[in-house]
Amino acid sequence: MNSFGRIFRVTIFGESHGPMVGITVDGCPAGLSLTEEDFTTDIERRKGGTQKGTTPRKEDDKPIFITGYFNGKTTGAPLTILFENKNTRSGDYDKIKSIPRPGHADFVAHQKFGKNEDYRGGGHFSGRLTVCLVAAGVIAKKLLQNISVEAKITEVGGEQDVEAGLQKAIDAKDSVGGIVECTVKGLPIGLGEPFFDSVESVISHAVFAIPAIKGVEFGAGFAAAKMFGSEHNDAIVDASGKTATNYAGGIVGGITNGNDLVFRVGVKPTSSTPKEQESWNWDTEQIEKFSVKGRHDLCITLRVPPVLEAVTAIALADLMLLEQQIKRVI
Amino acid sequence: MNSFGRIFRVTIFGESHGPMVGITVDGCPAGLSLTEEDFTTDIERRKGGTQKGTTPRKEDDKPIFITGYFNGKTTGAPLTILFENKNTRSGDYDKIKSIPRPGHADFVAHQKFGKNEDYRGGGHFSGRLTVCLVAAGVIAKKLLQNISVEAKITEVGGEQDVEAGLQKAIDAKDSVGGIVECTVKGLPIGLGEPFFDSVESVISHAVFAIPAIKGVEFGAGFAAAKMFGSEHNDAIVDASGKTATNYAGGIVGGITNGNDLVFRVGVKPTSSTPKEQESWNWDTEQIEKFSVKGRHDLCITLRVPPVLEAVTAIALADLMLLEQQIKRVI
Amino acid sequence: MNSFGRIFRVTIFGESHGPMVGITVDGCPAGLSLTEEDFTTDIERRKGGTQKGTTPRKEDDKPIFITGYFNGKTTGAPLTILFENKNTRSGDYDKIKSIPRPGHADFVAHQKFGKNEDYRGGGHFSGRLTVCLVAAGVIAKKLLQNISVEAKITEVGGEQDVEAGLQKAIDAKDSVGGIVECTVKGLPIGLGEPFFDSVESVISHAVFAIPAIKGVEFGAGFAAAKMFGSEHNDAIVDASGKTATNYAGGIVGGITNGNDLVFRVGVKPTSSTPKEQESWNWDTEQIEKFSVKGRHDLCITLRVPPVLEAVTAIALADLMLLEQQIKRVI
Amino acid sequence: MNSFGRIFRVTIFGESHGPMVGITVDGCPAGLSLTEEDFTTDIERRKGGTQKGTTPRKEDDKPIFITGYFNGKTTGAPLTILFENKNTRSGDYDKIKSIPRPGHADFVAHQKFGKNEDYRGGGHFSGRLTVCLVAAGVIAKKLLQNISVEAKITEVGGEQDVEAGLQKAIDAKDSVGGIVECTVKGLPIGLGEPFFDSVESVISHAVFAIPAIKGVEFGAGFAAAKMFGSEHNDAIVDASGKTATNYAGGIVGGITNGNDLVFRVGVKPTSSTPKEQESWNWDTEQIEKFSVKGRHDLCITLRVPPVLEAVTAIALADLMLLEQQIKRVI
């Protein structure tokens, strides 16, 4: 399903080249102040227009509140926000309809939905919809109040420096991946459940909703596999549960322990690369060389931080509501 | 919640030192043959009794079918399987009740559930319950028929060889972590959804239900972050969707693409280590040194493969039922 | 939550006097042909404009497909349909803001959502949103193919004849209630589950989403309470499960039995009545007399049949998908 | 699915003639005191052994707490309670295996689950499982604290007096139905949602999980269909929302309004009647006369009140948790 959350439940809809994309947030507490300006920063961060390595497609991306919003506040009813798709050029995509692009959903979409999928720009399988995630994330962040959720890029194209990584891509005329780290400060102890709704389960579920993410690790993560227990165990140093180290990344037994929640995601290189590639041609029934035209990011990682913060905030807002750490009416 | 799955829904219950642990599988198709012997192999693989580095606690672990089972087959009604806890020695745990063990859930459980938690052996937060996951996994694997799900250890304590890694732990009188890789062959194209129910989302959700797992990566995973797009994109080489490489790990756009599903998990070192450690003492209100007695694994990774296969099979059986790739009556 | 269904999941949003109301259908099979004309009949049936006893508020009610729809067919992605609210006159409602209308949600909405609710025309608590249910129902009916879902009014204001019942209301300058019966022909045997997801459970859940419905009964319903077992039991007369009578209304043990599914709902009189009424005035803190102005139906029952068919079809489409009686790709 | 509830989630399992039936309650707050005695009254009320018109089958029905329970209190982990089936005589049922009993699930179970169903005593389709509902209801009632949930029989076999109704059945050598009314006092204002999770939706969903119930009506219910609006509207008489009448049964706009929640259910006559009946014989492929032997109730209505209270309490406990009116840790 295209929904996430048990109380703060987000439903996403839309296609890259349809008239609009949108999101419905059900279960949002009543009385939360919201202005268009609240959305500006994160939506601008998600846009790539001004940064080298991101797509020249530009959208206004003004949130249109159509339901659940009255007199500047949420009403407690389902909150639906739409974004118009103005700047689409479907023509770009017609040429490659007969060749499923490697690394894209073209092939699987065709198999899953038959001849019915909206193939323009990836249809529903489009990074365009992440603007909706960002919008829901803005709301979730406001609900989280004194809790901060911050994601930053730690690596691009294997380089610690974003500029260097991008230059590598430009020089190679290719796309590159990267790593993004997210840190949440101020969480209460006790969110999550021991098994199927461990905090790692819930956050990773949300995180892999972001296109292009192929790995997630909490705290020391994969490095923990090389550590000794005496080294990895975070000694508890006071009655509040503060630990001397934070190799657990703020989660023990699937439950938040009050220390910073820290996790990293691995982002694959953008599937659309300027390089010539090979793929199966459905019409000619043979492997053919082709190039992706369209407008694309050299490094989708650059746009990931606000989206990663958003899905993290969405997941945490839901966990907070479940644990009654956020009130139903504000 | 302690449930997972939308059609093939698994609910887990029990504590390390209660009389029994168990699992209810709702939505299992009717008519699936099941014998006690079907469970033997995976349950034995999960036990550590005969392998160095695993706990000497021994349980019979015979599955007791109490509902949903008649004349050797599933009936379509909820299927409940119990396992007795015979070999418990709660006394081991009384001594450390006042000190929350680092890396364990003692501290968070106390905060989350107040003074009510069952602290014996970690209570509900116990690896003991993974026998239930294994049992549900046996059923799921039978449903998957011609699809194979196999997990193998690729690293222990930083060593490529299991023996060497264990020896390292024994020599250091400490516990160690490891890495396990899971490969699924024979999946149809089209499982999963583009956003919140991507195959990565669903599998990672299930995987992080296993205690001690701190990272998951699909296909090239974190290594993809260092690759160029032209390198990472798997060229489609025939009409069936077969790809020349498999950096995507069998999932594109959140959907299975018919190639092998491959992912790896990072397992932290067992929290219970023979080494002396420090933690906060709730009674004396100061940091104190202590040692964990009890019976524990030096390397919980050794037991992970059958559990990882189990949760993977559970997740895939549900996705298969959702996509009508498994019949409701067999 | 404002969602319903496990596979064919419908999410409703909007307010009486907001810019738009809408619905998202997730899990709708791909490849279903849909035209605007498919919606005309049921949407017109739901409108009251031409019938005596219904509100003069007129809306175009043209469905606007914004997502999940391409080249005249559903794509398998979430399908969102919007309806504009053009013909709103919020001014009508300002006058009575200080008096919660008896029989309306004014009082409870105020308590539940604090000062934040959209009080115009009942806000989210509005019959206006039933146009969205009707739209989702049109889709569900198309999926049900050879299954017919038909609701008809059997009683208005205690009269067997609709005209007589309405005249009674007009003569009394008051509103009246009624009874609507729904019959579904052509259902397969085996939908539903024995306990919590009995067909009665699922349909009644959906039915009580329709404002003003206060009772539901299946087959003989409440009359069964006065019957003998030998009389109520429907004798099975052939191998297909056909029964001589149908007092069970097509459901036995919570499961469809292949005979017609028959149930009735009781609809209360429209809460907005032309009569002068009394209620508590929040401002003056005393009981006061007042009259509801606005535009309202004398008998909301007249609009119920297409809405009742819609929620029934929605519930059945979901049950059919769960039992794999409808294909995921058409 | 055989589960109900979003936070306080109940999963039921078992068969009439299997070794045990049981229930798992997930999401129950930690720290609730529970003793075996808490269950005695309602479990005894549900048993029919001492009352004329009920089955002579007698069970100890002692609740066996196997998980989620420690030192006399709930731990916050899944709480599983089992009941042994001691007093089964499957032999009674073998004789009629070839004839699906009218009014029973025999026919539909056979169609739905193939040849795999447990046909003994109705298998999973058995009133036996209502002991599990009662057990979960006992817990829910304790959570509801100052809220009382009381059901009473208002009619048996068309008679206002229980004795008279039963005598009618005995005289006619037939089974009879009845009506049960449930009243909940002390509920807060604001439970429920306007559409799909209206209080009527949620309660009716739970109520129709009880075998033999064929109708439900809230407040004036079907009688409302014959009333004028000015008559049915309950005038609000003070700032607390108290109403002069209670035709709405305590629910307006799908939301509790703080007045008594009142609803009635119609119970069909027990399907197993001493009378000779006709049904299709699968083996001989013709209609045949037969009699149900076994042990059965003449009037299942007599056992309904504690079960109806139970499912009502379960539904309300969940709504209360959703609205944060019950604490997660007590």
Looking at residue D125, its pLDDT comes to 87
Q: What is the mean pLDDT of residues D199-208?
A: 98
Looking at residue B55, its pLDDT comes to 64
The mean pLDDT of chain A is 93
User: How many other CB atoms sit within 10 Å of the CB of residue D16?
Assistant: 22
Cβ-based contacts of A113 with chain C (< 8 Å): 30-31, 75-77, 329
- Contact between D75 and B20 using a beta-carbon 8 Å cutoff: no
Alpha-carbon gap, residue C262 to C213, rounded angstroms: 17
Residue of B nearest to C29 (CA): B323
What are the distances in angstroms from CA C118 to CA B294, C1, C18, C106, C328? 60, 18, 9, 10, 38
Q: Could you report the per-residue pLDDT of D219-238, keeping only the tens digit for each? A: 999 999 999 999 999 999 99
Q: What is the mean pLDDT of residues A117-121?
A: 76
Looking at residue B171, its pLDDT comes to 96
Q: Could you report the per-residue pLDDT of A18-44, keeping only the tens digit for each? A: 999 999 999 999 999 999 999 999 999
Cβ-based contacts of C226 with chain D (< 8 Å): 155, 157-158, 177
pTM: 0.97
Cβ-based contacts of A116 with chain C (< 8 Å): 30-31, 70-71, 73-76, 329
ipTM of this complex prediction, to 2 decimal places:
0.96
Burial of C179 from C-beta contacts in 10 A (0-12 / 13-18 / 19+) = buried
Closest chain A C-alpha to C86 CA, distance in angstroms: 13
Alpha-carbon gap, residue C223 to C155, rounded angstroms: 17
Asked if C15 is an interface residue toward chain A (Cβ–Cβ < 8 A), one would say yes
Per-residue 3-state assignment (H helix, E strand, C coil) for B202-255: HHHHHHCCCCCEEEEEECCHHHHHHCEHHHHCCCECCCCCCECCCCCCCEECCE
Alpha-carbon gap, residue D290 to D104, rounded angstroms: 14
For C204, the token pair is: 């009644």
Pick from D22, D25, D4, D34: which is nearest to D330 by CA?
D34
Closest chain B C-alpha to D183 CA, distance in angstroms: 30
Averaged pLDDT, groups of 10, chain B, 330 residues long: 96 94 97 96 83 68 96 95 84 70 92 81 88 98 97 97 95 97 98 96 98 98 98 96 98 98 98 93 94 82 97 98 95
Candidates D80, D106, D318, D327, partner chain B, best to mutate (most B CBs within 10 A): D80
- Contact between C209 and D221 using a beta-carbon 8 Å cutoff: no
Burial of D94 from C-beta contacts in 10 A (0-12 / 13-18 / 19+) = exposed
Looking at residue C91, its pLDDT comes to 61
Selected residues 183-212 of chain C with any CB under 8 Å from a CB in chain D? 189-190, 193-198, 200-202, 204-209, 211
Cβ-based contacts of D79 with chain A (< 8 Å): none
Looking at residue C86, its pLDDT comes to 87
Closest chain C C-alpha to B193 CA, distance in angstroms: 9
- Contact between D13 and B77 using a beta-carbon 8 Å cutoff: yes
Q: Could you report the per-residue pLDDT of A149-163, keeping only the tens digit for each? A: 999 999 999 999 999
Confirm or reject CATH 2.40.100.10 for domain B3-322, answering yes or no: no
Q: Could you report the per-residue pLDDT of D46-89, keeping only the tens digit for each? A: 986 556 666 656 678 999 999 999 999 999 999 999 999 987 76
Q: Would you state the torsion angle of the CA atoms of residues A133, A134, A137, A141, taken in this order, to the nearest 10 degrees?
A: 170
- Contact between D108 and C253 using a beta-carbon 8 Å cutoff: yes
Asked if D106 is an interface residue toward chain B (Cβ–Cβ < 8 A), one would say no
Distance, C-alpha A248 to centroid of its chain: 23
Please state, for a pLDDT cut of 90, what percent of chain D lies above it. 83
Cβ-based contacts of C112 with chain A (< 8 Å): 30, 76, 329
Domain limits, chain D: 3-322
Looking at residue A296, its pLDDT comes to 77
For chain D, which chains pass the contact test of at least 3 CB pairs under 8 Å?
A: A, B, C
Q: Is the pLDDT of residue A96 over 70?
A: no
Looking at residue B91, its pLDDT comes to 61
Residue of A nearest to B103 (CA): A233
Cβ-based contacts of C31 with chain A (< 8 Å): 113-116
Q: Does residue A48 or residue B275 have the better pLDDT?
A: B275
Asked if B117 is an interface residue toward chain D (Cβ–Cβ < 8 A), one would say yes
Closest chain B C-alpha to A17 CA, distance in angstroms: 16
Is C192:C222 a contact under the CB 8 Å cutoff?
A: no
Residue of D nearest to C274 (CA): D230
Residues 6+ apart with CB under 8 A from B251: B192, B198, B199, B200, B218, B219, B257, B261
User: How many other CB atoms sit within 10 Å of the CB of residue B64?
Assistant: 14
Cβ-based contacts of D115 with chain B (< 8 Å): 31
Asked if C19 is an interface residue toward chain A (Cβ–Cβ < 8 A), one would say yes
For chain C, residues with pLDDT lower than 70 are: 48-58, 89-96, 294-295
For chain B, which chains pass the contact test of at least 3 CB pairs under 8 Å?
A: A, C, D
In sequence order, the β-bridge partners of residue A265 are A180, A216
Give per-residue burial for A64-78: e unless 16+ CB within 10 Å, then b: ebbbbbbeebbbbbb
Q: Could you report the per-residue pLDDT of B301-312, keeping only the tens digit for each? A: 999 999 999 999
Closest chain A C-alpha to C117 CA, distance in angstroms: 5
Q: Which residue has the tokens 């389902």?
A: A78
Strand runs labelled E in D159-312: 178-185, 213-218, 251-252, 255-256, 261-267, 277-281, 286-290
Candidates C75, C318, C324, partner chain B, best to mutate (most B CBs within 10 A): C324
Looking at residue D118, its pLDDT comes to 78
For B121, the token pair is: 């052996």
Is D8:D141 a contact under the CB 8 Å cutoff?
A: no
Q: Is the pLDDT of residue D95 over 60?
A: no
Is B30:B73 a contact under the CB 8 Å cutoff?
A: yes
Selected residues 268-327 of chain A with any CB under 8 Å from a CB in chain D? 322-324, 327
